[in-house]
Each structure stands twice: as structure tokens, then as C-alpha cells.
Amino acid sequence: MKKIAKSLLLGATALVAVSCCQKEPEVKNIIFMIGDGMGLAQTSATALINDWEPLNMERADYIGLQKTYSANNRVTDSAASGTALATGHKTYNSAIGVDVDKNPVANTRELAQAAGYATGVVATYSVTNATPAAFVAHVESRYLEDKIAEQFVEADIDLFIGGGTRFFKERRDGKDLTEDLKAEGYTVAYDMAELEGVTEGKVAALLAPNAMPTIGQGRSKDYLPGATAKALEVLSNNSKKGFFVMIEGSQIDGGGHDNNMVKIYEETVDFDNAVKVAFDFADEHPGTLVVVTADHETGGLSIVSGKSDFTLPEQGVKYEFGTTGHSAIMLPVYAYGTGAEEFAGVMENTDIAKKMQKLLGLIEE
């Protein structure tokens, strides 16, 4: 796998050499935020429950819609959609960073890294889970999480924060990958408090065996906004050129699968609080683009009229779910900051990756 990672990076370097650039690209930093399972019904319901107090993501300068279908299914999973958003290639459900022929395809984070940007991923599920994995790894199945963890070590990524300790330390092969990370100069942390005072360098924070707790199970409301702020700080300090980071609100999806509106609401609010941190950073750092979207909708949620014994404090609406799986509905794309205008209109999920790669000067216009 090391060979594949290397050849991808060589390919990326060649691309950069061909395309790069008489002038520096206008976009210096990209903060790519993915609410897993967050469709328009999820954001609408969250705003409605808040008495239509606007969500932070509603500060977006430009709004688009994206189509999520995968190469082998009209309803995507998080692996195929993550791969599309990361690489610009549609692939089959359960694929991570490989195309329909199972060949590895480079992702925006790798291309950015090869061009000298600092890069990272942040999640509220395991970092080896499908969405963040699509920005780091290349495996034919999302379920190969031990292997995905090895590729995190090989990737030499600046920063990752999320769950997933068991894939690094309690592995079937008995290896302890955190030793490899330490040998490569990483600060390895098991609690966000251990990152206080860490303002640069390589960071690996593994905060739960697999998924982190949900907000309902007691995950701190400070975690995702705080991890976002920490990532922006460390990545800003790690490269003068700029950075690319993917930040995932991973557990909105679980609320959809459980048909649990309370969980969807709490996880969407949490994600939206991280969006505020990113938008505020963009206000203070010209040249920063923030794109907020999802990988697919989960639950087939609809908000209909009717009396409800539902426990959230609003009246007169009822939340109905069409499925315990994902749905094929188009998703909102909220764009803010430098280059945001590129994300207006209707697009494929793969276009989002390509637009980001163009804006960072990683591929040809």
C-alpha cells in the first residue's frame, strides 16, 4: 500500500508541476464540512425547533444543490459519497478512495499535501469510518478499518482528531500503531485537554475506541467546535502555503438510521456550532473558503403537519421517516468566503472535489 500511496503522490506532484501557477491561487485555505446524513429536512427541522432562529450555515454567501447517487446505486452509502466528495470519482457503495475498477484515485487532501498545504481530518465517529477514511485511505471496502488505520500512519497527514483507538491499538495483528505515530513525531492524545498548548506539529487525537459518544450520550458540546478551532490553529501554523481540512458531523446519520429526531437535532446543532467556528475563521483570514454539505440524507425525513406527542418544544408538526436507511434526495451546499460563488447551482457530488482542486491550483482549469 505504501507503493500505491507514493505513486499517487508522485502523480499529484506531476499534476502540480504541469498546472502550477504563474500566480498564487486566491484560495489559501479550504475547510470542507460534511454533516453525515444531513439533508434539507434535517437542517429545516433544526431551525424550526429553534423557532426559526437562523442556523450558522445560513450565513452562507452562495447555496447550491448536489446529486449524490453512486456508480452502482441510486442511493449512495457514506463510502461512495465520501470518495466522490474527496476524489471527484463516482464509485461503488462501500469503496474507499478507489474507482469502480478498485484502482486507487487521489483525493483533494493528498493533492494538497503534495503541493505543500497542511492537511487534516476531524470527525465525531472513528477517523477510520467511511467519510474521513475517503480523504486518507484507498481500500476496496470500508470495513477494512485496521488497514485504513495503517494508511493513516503512512499518509503523514498533519492532524487527525476523532474516535478509533481500537483500530490503532487493539488490532487483530497485535500491532500498536500509536508507537509508529510517536516515532514519526506525532503528539498522540487521548483527551482534548492533552492538546492544550499544542499549537503546531503533527497531531493524532484518538478519543474513543470507535464512535465517540453522541451528544445524548454525553459527548461534550465543546468537542466539535473545539476540535475545529484546534485543527484550524495547528494547520495554519504548519504551512505558510495554507491548508485543507475535512470536518465531519458524523452522527447526524445515526439519528436518521434510528428515526430519532432528538438525536438528529442535537447532532445538527453541534455540527452547526462547528460551522460558526469555521465561518468566523474565514471572516478573519481572507483567502479561506468554507463549504458545508452532506454525503447523503438519512431517514427519508419529512416534516408534516399534525399534532405530535414528540418531546421537543415545538407545536403542530410531526416528523415522519420514510426509511431507516439513506435516501436519494439532492442535498444543500452552503459556501462561504473566497471562491464561494463556484458552489452556486446544481452539481454532482464529484464536482465539489473538482472545484476545490481547481481553487487550490491542484488541477488544470
- What is d(CA 347, CA 274) in angstroms, rounded to the nearest whole number? 25
Calpha distance 294→38 (Å, rounded):
5
> What minimum distance in Å lies between the beta carbon of 250 and Mg ion?
5
The whole-angstrom distance between residue 207's C-alpha and the CA centroid of its chain comes to: 17
Residue 91 is a binding residue for Mg ion (CB under 5 A): no
Applying the rule CB under 5 A, the residues between 231 and 290 that interact with Zn ion are 253
Question: Cβ 349 to Zn ion, closest distance in Å?
Answer: 15
- Closest approach, Cβ 287 to Mg ion, in A, equals 28
Whether 94 sits among the annotated catalytic residues: the reply is: no
Out of 78, 81, 250, 327, the active site residue is: 78
Q: From 64-72, 100-108, 124-132, 310-318, give the range in contact with Mg ion by CB under 5 A.
A: 124-132
Residue with cell 469555521: 278
Closest residue to Mg ion, judged by C-beta, is 131
Q: Is 78 near Mg ion (CB under 5 A)? A: yes
Looking at the Cβ atoms of 82 and 88, the one nearer to Mg ion is 82
- Which of 46, 128, 131, 239 binds Mg ion (CB under 5 A)? It is 131
Please provide the DSSP assignment of 226-251 as one string.
Answer: HHHHHHHHHHHHH-SS-EEEEEEETT
Least distance in angstroms from the C-beta of 339 to Zn ion: 29
With respect to Zn ion, which residue has the nearer C-beta, 165 or 298? 298
Give 286: exposed, middle or buried? Use CB within 10 Å, 0-12, 13-18, 19+.
Answer: exposed
Kindly state the number of chain residues that form the binding site for Zn ion, as judged by CB under 5 A.
Answer: 2
- What does 131 interact with, of Zn ion, Mg ion, none (CB < 5 to 8 A by kind)? Mg ion
CB of 249 to Mg ion, least distance (A): 9
Q: Is 267 in the site for Mg ion (CB under 5 A)?
A: no
Can you tell me the distance from the alpha carbon of 290 to that of 337, in angstroms, rounded to the nearest whole number?
A: 6
Between residues 131 and 338, which has the closer beta carbon with respect to Zn ion?
131
CA-nearest of 292, 266, 257 to 278 is 292
Binding mask 32-61 for Mg ion (x = CB under 5 A): ----x-------------------------
* Contact between 250 and Mg ion per CB under 5 A: yes
**CB within 8 Å of 153: residues ≥ 6 apart:** 177, 180, 181, 184
* Least Cβ distance, residue 256 to Zn ion (angstroms): 7
Asked if 158 interacts with Zn ion (CB under 5 A), we say: no
Q: Cβ distance 105 to 87 under 8 Å? A: yes
Where in the chain does DSSP place strands (E)? 29-37, 62-67, 118-126, 159-163, 187-189, 203-206, 243-249, 288-298, 301-305, 317-321, 326-327, 331-337, 345-348
Best CA proximity match to 213, nearest among 150, 124, 327, 96? 124
Enumerate the β-bridge partners of residue 294: 35
Nearer to Zn ion, 37 or 120 (CB): 37
Catalogue the active-site residues: 78
Residues near Zn ion (CB under 5 A) are: 253, 298
Q: Which parts of this chain interact with Mg ion (CB under 5 A)? A: 36, 78, 131, 250
